[in-house]
Amino acid sequence: MADDFSPMQLLEDDLYDEDQETRVKAMKRVSTIAAALGPEQAREELVPFLNGCTEDDDEILLVLAEELGKFVPLVGGPEYAGALLEPLEKLAEVEETVVRDRATESICHVVEVLPPDQSEEVFGLVKRLAHGDWFTARVSSCSLMAATYKAIVDTDQKAEIRTLYEALAKDETPMVRRAAAGKLADFAEAVEVGVVVSDLLPIYRALAADDQDSVRVLAVQATTLIATQLQKAGMEQENLAVVLPVVRHAVEDRSWRVRHAITKDFFEISEAMGQMVTTNELLQCFNNLIQDQEAEVRAASLGGVPRYCDLVGQQLFLQHVMPHITALLQDQNLNVKTALSKACMELAGKLGQEHTTIHIVPLLQTFLRDDSPEVRLRILSKLEVIAAWMPAIGENILPMLLELAHDANWRVRKAVVACLPVLAESMGVDYFETNLLDLYLQSYTDRVFEVRVGATSGLSKIATVCGADWLEKQVLPRIKYFYENSNFYLIRITVIDALKTLAQDGVSGSLMTEVVNILVKACHDSTPNVRFTGAKALALVSGHADDVAVQTQIRPCLTELMQTDTDKDVKFFASQALETVG
């Protein structure tokens, strides 16, 4: 009777159930069942049983492929891991891509731990897949080449693996060539550098010239790794003879996807090729990408602009690249404008004040007037990069900030508010008070919560820059006015949050007294939300107030709220605040 309810029997019943969800859940339990059975029974009963379950629906096969990757310790460790290869090989041949991908991942995991004396099994598996009648098997074999090459030690077998990979790269089926191209970098990393030169460079060149653009895209993505390997091995001539022509052709490829692929890694490729090749050959290629007819390529090229400035040096960059960047100011594509605005802010930190004033500030002025909020935000979010130079360039930038403080987009208004503490530090207290203080204070009454939060968040920085005495004279009276004259209770809560920021150790007694007075008043507000916010603020402020204020104002106020307030939330927070005050 016990056998009728054995884990194996229950699993078998569930996996033969007509309901797919039942079968999926059962397959997700196979690791637990394997652990319950023990290594020997898992090897001899469970794995052979699962080997016969490889013709189910894709959802079940995907779970099986994933679970088998966890089975190495459950079948007795690496010594017995070879038992998992047979069902995984079957899964690597199925039609569904995600199942094959998960199966090859699990095979690679097994191969990594398999003892060297069992590498023959892996070698045989890869050979069978590489010679498979269906392209699906050959596609899967491409994913196993690198792991297998590293696992086997026999030189003849290594040579045969290289031959198999070459055949796959020349396969008549584009999907197989695409898989080979996609794993080219992994295989190049696995083989010896001499093999890269003798075997893989011809394959790389052929795949990069394939008639299918999807193959070429994946092939050029291996360029960085190959060029880096050759450079480290001192094989600059091979880089010049093979890699450089591939890069040139990719930059001019008829498919924008290929040009986009080479663009994303262009800085890394240039770095690997070296200073001389970059200056003499690749700099012009980079400029071509910046001017590409496809917007996605132009935008991608701008992502590498700041690092390219470091690579070629400021003088060459300003002479050869900057004019093309400036020309993109007329580009109407949003992705390009956004990428350009980001690149310009990053460049500003590298070019220094003089060149930033000449080359970057005119661009920033245009960006700050752009119709797109995203472009304006890119500049505002990085304004601290040029904050130190504001005394010299502020007359060009600051008037626009005053305009943007009234922008229809609240994110832009919030970004302007976030800039103000930085500007206070760079421009000085007098300038901030004369030109920016009103701008800062008006954000306390903004209709959007996030903008008001931005104002209170920046108050601590402004206090550090301008000093507590200045805040007491210039800021406190204004925010007190906002509290007393606002009909919108959320603005009154914003003032309370600001007061919590002002209440710190070391501030003057008069400032602390005023803060406590306003908070006590808040605890008697007509709106319950304001009252319990005031109660929580009093608890925080009590740690910085003197004993007299605590005993005569804070504690009595909180006690009154806890005992007499009609709102249960106010009572609750008042009680918590009293516990904090002690």
pLDDT tens-digit series, residues 186-230: 999 999 999 999 999 999 999 999 999 999 999 999 999 999 999
The predicted model gives 522-530 an average pLDDT of 95
Domain boundary among 438, 466, 494: 466
The answer to the question of residue 441 being in a domain is yes
Residue 417 to residue 184: CA distance in whole angstroms? 50
Q: How many domains does the chain have?
A: 2
Residue 102 has pLDDT above 70, yes or no: yes
**Is residue 543 very low, low, confident or very high in pLDDT (cuts 50, 70, 90)?**
confident
C-alpha distances (whole Å) from 247 to each of 217, 241, 269, 397 are: 12, 11, 9, 40
The predicted model gives 8-21 an average pLDDT of 86
Whether residue 447 is found in the same domain as residue 524: no
The answer to the question of residue 265 being in a domain is no
Whether residue 493 is found in the same domain as residue 437: no
pLDDT tens-digit series, residues 136-184: 999 999 999 999 999 998 999 999 999 999 999 999 999 999 999 999 9
Residue 505 has pLDDT above 70, yes or no: no
Whether residue 530 is found in the same domain as residue 564: yes
Query: Over pLDDT 70: what percentage of the chain?
Result: 99
Eight-class DSSP state of 488:
-
The predicted model gives 335-360 an average pLDDT of 92
Whether residue 461 is found in the same domain as residue 538: no
Least reliable range by pLDDT among 71-80, 200-209, 392-401, 410-419? 392-401
Residue 300 has pLDDT above 60, yes or no: yes
pLDDT tens-digit series, residues 560-570: 999 999 999 99
The answer to the question of residue 182 being in a domain is no
**Is residue 392 very low, low, confident or very high in pLDDT (cuts 50, 70, 90)?**
confident
Whether residue 484 is found in the same domain as residue 459: no
The predicted model gives 399-413 an average pLDDT of 92
**Is residue 54 very low, low, confident or very high in pLDDT (cuts 50, 70, 90)?**
confident
Whether residue 384 is found in the same domain as residue 461: yes
The answer to the question of residue 532 being in a domain is yes
CATH of the domain at 450: 1.25.10.10
Whether residue 538 is found in the same domain as residue 500: yes
Residue-level pLDDT at 380: 92
The answer to the question of residue 378 being in a domain is yes
Residue-level pLDDT at 502: 82
The answer to the question of residue 119 being in a domain is no
Residue 404 has pLDDT above 50, yes or no: yes
| DSSP-derived secondary structure for 337-372 | HHHHHHHHHHHHHHHHHHHIIIIIHHHHHHHHT-S-
Residue 43 has pLDDT above 50, yes or no: yes
Whether residue 417 is found in the same domain as residue 491: no
Whether residue 543 is found in the same domain as residue 446: no
**Is residue 2 very low, low, confident or very high in pLDDT (cuts 50, 70, 90)?**
very low
Mean pLDDT (the chain) is 92
The answer to the question of residue 450 being in a domain is yes
The answer to the question of residue 176 being in a domain is no
Domain boundary among 466, 499, 530: 466
Residue-level pLDDT at 1: 39
Whether residue 504 is found in the same domain as residue 543: yes
Whether residue 357 is found in the same domain as residue 433: yes
pLDDT tens-digit series, residues 219-273: 999 999 999 999 999 898 999 999 999 999 999 999 999 999 999 999 999 999 9
Residue-level pLDDT at 5: 60
Tell the residue number behind the tokens 């003849």, with chain if given.
Answer: 156
Domain boundary among 466, 488, 522: 466
Residue pair 556/575 in contact (Cβ under 8 Å)? The answer is no
Residue-level pLDDT at 4: 53
Residue-level pLDDT at 545: 87
Tell the residue number behind the tokens 């459950």, with chain if given.
Answer: 74
| DSSP-derived secondary structure for 502-563 | H--TT--HHHHHHHHHHHHHHTT-SSHHHHHHHHHHHHHHTTTS-HHHIIIIIHHHHHHHHH
| DSSP-derived secondary structure for 217-253 | HHHHTTHHHHHHHHHHTT-HHHIIIIIHHHHHHHHT-
Structural domain boundaries enclosing 461: 352-466
Q: Which residue has the higher pLDDT, 261 or 52?
A: 261
Residue pair 392/359 in contact (Cβ under 8 Å)? The answer is no
Residue 389 to residue 522: CA distance in whole angstroms? 42
Whether residue 429 is found in the same domain as residue 485: no
